[in-house]
Amino acid sequence: MAGKPKLYYFNGRGKMESIRWLLAAAGVEFEEEFLETREQYEKLLKGGSLLFQQVPMVEIDGMKMVQTRAILNYIAAKYNLYGKDLKERALIDMYVGGTDDLMGFILMYPFLSAEDKEKQRAFIVEKATSRYFPVYEKILKDHGQDFLVGNSFSWADVHLFEAILMVEEKKSDVLSGFPRLQAFKAKISSIPTIKKFLQPGSQRKPVPDDKYVETVRRVLRMYYDVKPN
């Protein structure tokens, strides 16, 4: 029997959080090794584990996988969360790609100055409500089903649900004008594996704090200021 996947990243969200979400949605238990020092990171580099000198890195099925999208693709396919045919997979890829764009605006947020954070918060909410959420609202309206693709639970649903929660942390009533996304959120949150991951004590990470930011900057030697979109 194969061991549990092992995740190498910081003790925080970042790009690894979507991997945690997808594994949790699939009901897969996983282990984590948190990077806290530059020495840990350099050890991975010297050992050749980080193919492009970047984390996240996931040990799974005898592989040491890097590149977030490759890892997510593999997990989605392995656990039947990637559609039933090539057409459904293409739709999932499109929807995940759009959600990724929205998430990208949020991932940089903790690394901004206080002044830039206020500007970025408004930017995130504006983009979510004018560009991204209307698309998913229309998809759900047009096909009249509970899920985004093929009326079955997929990676696209997990990714959108994660993004909704992230935007709600910036504006709690952001879904007020999107009734179908409100129903979608309720539906996804009731799925047993998702419900479990939402409970206190799970491996879901909290909103990034100053300690997380300082650790990432120190380990990766980020001596520059991040600028908002």
DSSP calls for 69-104 = HHHHHHHHHHTT-S-SSHHHHHHHHHHHHHHHHHHH
Per the listing, tokens 């609202």 go with 137
Q: Are residues 126 and 177 in the same domain?
A: yes
Q: Are residues 113 and 91 in the same domain?
A: yes
CA distance 198 to 189: 8
Q: Are residues 209 and 179 in the same domain?
A: no
Report the domain count for the chain.
2
Q: Are residues 92 and 186 in the same domain?
A: yes
pLDDT at residue 1, as a whole number: 45
Helix (H) or strand (E) holding 32: strand 31-34
Is residue 19 in some structural domain? Answer: yes
Q: CATH number for the domain including 108?
A: 1.20.1050.10
With 0-12 / 13-18 / 19 or more C-beta atoms within 10 angstroms meaning exposed / middle / buried, residue 114 is: exposed
Domain that holds residue 120: 86-190
CA distance 56 to 111: 18
Is residue 63 in some structural domain? Answer: yes
Q: CATH number for the domain including 64?
A: 3.40.30.10
CA distance 16 to 87: 27
> Do 14 and 107 meet the contact criterion of CB atoms below 8 Å apart?
yes
Is residue 99 in some structural domain? Answer: yes
Pairing of strands 31-34, 6-9: parallel
Q: Are residues 91 and 180 in the same domain?
A: yes
In this prediction, the residues of the chain whose per-residue pLDDT falls under 70 are 1-2, 223-229
Q: Are residues 203 and 185 in the same domain?
A: no
Q: Are residues 59 and 119 in the same domain?
A: no
Structure tokens that stand for 26 in this block: 């699939």
Is residue 226 in some structural domain? Answer: no
Is residue 228 in some structural domain? Answer: no
CA distance 57 to 43: 13
